[in-house]
Chains A and B, each alone.
Chain A
Amino acid sequence: MRQVLVVEDDPVNARLFQMILARRGHYEVSITEDPDEILHLVRSGQVALVVMDVSLKNATYAGEAIDGVGITRLIKADERTRNTPVLLATARAMPGDRESLLASSGAEDYIAKPVLDHQLFLDKVSTLIPDPPADTPEEAGI
């Protein structure tokens, strides 16, 4: 089954996104902040959408520090993975951040932390995923 991949360096926030997606949207969720693993999972075709944090304190790729913007660019640069939608979920929410982060990363959409409206978040996720999740749609989005 296709899953939502949550990329998040703060474990409490990672768990929160997992809970929102699982309980409210009935998505299957996997969590990682390791760039190599992210790329591997997205290439495998199992990932329907990536929820991507921008600031990743511990992430390195090919020996260099990398953030969510950099990983999204890698996803968008690869033929095999460029169609996988990426939703930036970030605490970088100063005026202008939305536009500049979307432009520099090539991600499909953006949501600012704190996420107050869980339904808005889920709407963004479901709009970006071409096929609806396997679970019963009437339970989703309560």
Chain B
Amino acid sequence: MNSLTGMVATTNKPLRILVVDHCPEDREMYRRLLGRHDGQQYIFWDAPTAADALQVCRHEQPDCILLDYLLPDIDGLQFLVELADLKGEDLIPVVVITGHGNEWVAAQAIKSGAQDYFVKDSLTQELLCGAVRNAIQKVSLLRMIEDQRRELARANDELLSVNRNLTDISRLKSEFLANASHELRTPLNSILGFLRLVLDGMCDSAEEERDFIQTSFDSARSLLELINNLLDISKMEAGKMTLDLEAVNLEKLFNDVYLLTHVQAQEKSVTLEFHAPEDGATSVRADYGKLKQILLNLVGNALKFTDMGGITVRAIPVVERGFVTIDVVDTGVGIRPEIQGKLFGKFVQGDGSATRKHGGTGLGLTITKNLVELMGGVIQLESEGVGKGTRVSFTVPIYREDEEQGADWRQVAGQGTAVKGDPSQPLVLIAEDDLHFRKMLEDLAHQAGFSTVYALTADDAVMLARKMKPVAITLDHALLVPEHPVLTDGWDAYAALKTDANTAGIPVIFITGYDAYLEDRLQEISPIEAPRFISKPFTWEEFTEALNEAAESGSTPQGPEKTGRTAQSP
């Protein structure tokens, strides 16, 4: 970018001059004068007309143009206009040559983009060489200013985007506070109101008094549930939810949940069945208490909304992909399709009499989703509609003996993620949903001196990249597709990363085995720069080298000491 500065400073590189003058003798004179100066070498193009000169400029980038104002086809001013049209921001230094007494023309030319001028009659070697050098330096400075202006504009865009994010976060926090305040005041109104009536002797009978107290007590209990839920949510959002991961035996877990829920099922005369995996040996890697909370929540919901038929909980191992799917299926009231996608949001409840009858905080599913993701799973909810029952499915990773050997787990700010390896090492984000392959990539990255964090979906990959600012990202082109994804594969994730100022600077390595498919997708994402690639199968060295290269090439947008690098002179 700043090569011209270099050219002027070092005399070993020839300067390429385009001489635009219809008179061959004059052209020869310029060559002669320049050619003898200071040992600087020159290469010349001859252009007797403006058309010839523009033809050269179409394919070449001369270091300087010597332009006679009087040309046979168009005049010098017109030439400058057409040159600007042709080259756009690719400025070429221009020195204008005028006849005696035509200084006003020179002034016009400089306004139109020429850098310097001289009068033909009073030409000396010093004057000519000085004008060329001067023009080249001017353009070089203009380019540096332009680079810096662009750098500033980019930094400004980044600040605007950070500012927008902060405004969003602040708005969401206020909304949460207002919602929480509303939800807390509602049961408090019943508690305080009925107790006030009792204290003031407003009851008709002893039974009614007891009833008022019982109502207050029930409201107080739902208030406690609400407070616990709010605490869970804020803990999760602050990234302070800690996990105690262990091998959880699904049969034991199902037994515990059954003991806590079967009485309610009996009271409602609905069936309640639990099916652990057939072989009985499958353990999942989870926090026992939190996995139980997930199941109690989902079974509790199912019981609330089912008056006939029953509830079935079934675990299905998907060994080749490294997880177990747990389905909670009921034959209850079902959910309208329009609101199915919203139910995982905060303070959102289904409608209808069942919700009214059973209350609830509207936070249960939000917490459940967060817990599932915190443990590395995904959750989805489906119902064919009102009266058609509901199925909620979520995944939990299968426990693997070797994974737990000396693994360094550290919970980090964020959902569903833990940094593995030595946390003091630079962080690499691995977006890969195949457990075995991911494990291999993690091991390789740890050996190469990186710590890792992983994402199973494209959405998570982008979210984690924004949040954790890794030095590099490896992306599988096919990723797990969760319910209502915003992004469906690695390519979407790549486009999202490269178009967000917060993450555009993080180098991405694509890992792919489908080279034929590559061309099409590259077309689709153009004009975004193409990512780096590693094709499967690859060696340890290839992967390590790619990681190191990527990590070194990255620009960290938050590091102010690195900005403006492109604008510095060699």
What residues of chain A have their CB less than 8 Å away from a CB belonging to chain B? 9-13, 15-16, 19-20, 23-24, 55, 57-58, 91-94, 112-116, 118, 142
Contacts and interface: CB of A to CB of B under 8 A. Distances in A.
B193 A16 contact: yes
A92 B200 CA distance: 27
25 contacts: A12-B187, A12-B190, A12-B215, A13-B190, A13-B193, A15-B215, A16-B193, A16-B197, A19-B212, A20-B197, A55-B182, A57-B349, A57-B355, A57-B356, A58-B352, A58-B356, A91-B182, A91-B184, A93-B182, A93-B185, A114-B185, A114-B189, A116-B196, A118-B193, A118-B200
A94 B215 contact: no
B178 interface: yes
Interface of B is mostly: helix
A97 to B, nearest CB: 8
B518 interface: no
A91 B185 contact: yes
Contacts of A11: 356-357
Interface string B189-216: 1111110110010100000000010010
Contacts of B12: none
Contact of B189 (A9, A13, A57, A142): A13
B526 interface: no
A92 to B, nearest CB: 6
B253 interface: no
A55 B178 CA distance: 13
B533 to A, nearest CB: 50
A24 B185 contact: no
B181 interface: yes
Identify the 9 closest CB pairs spanning chains A and B, nearest first. Answer: A91-B185, A114-B189, A113-B189, A16-B193, A114-B188, A12-B190, A23-B202, A91-B182, A114-B192
A118 to B, nearest CB: 6
A9 B362 CA distance: 15
Contacts of B215: 12, 15
Nearest to B359: A10
Nearest to A97: B178
B242 interface: no
Given A12-B219, A113-B186, A113-B188, A91 B193 contact: no
Nearest to A10: B186
Contact of A24 (B191, B202, B219, B355): B202
Contacts of B196: 116, 118
A116 B192 contact: yes
Nearest to B202: A23
Interface in B204-235: 212, 215, 218-219
A94 B355 contact: no
A123 to B, nearest CB: 15
Contacts of B191: 114
Contacts of A24: 202
Given A57-B351, A91-B186, A142 B192 contact: no
Contact of A115 (B183, B184, B193, B200): B193
A23 B188 contact: no
Nearest to B187: A12
Contacts of A15: 215
B182 A92 contact: yes
Given A12-B190, A115-B189, A23 B219 contact: no
A103 B188 CA distance: 26
A20 B212 CA distance: 12
Contacts of B192: 114-116
Interface in B152-194: 177-178, 181-194
Contacts of A57: 349, 351, 355-356
A9 B182 CA distance: 13
Contact of B178 (A9, A19, A94, A115): A94
Contacts of A116: 192, 196
Contacts of B359: 10
Given A15-B215, A94-B181, 18 more contacts: A10-B186, A10-B190, A10-B359, A11-B357, A12-B219, A13-B186, A19-B194, A19-B212, A23-B202, A55-B182, A91-B185, A91-B186, A92-B178, A94-B178, A113-B185, A113-B186, A113-B189, A118-B196
Given A58-B351, A92-B182, A16 B194 contact: yes
A37 B356 CA distance: 18
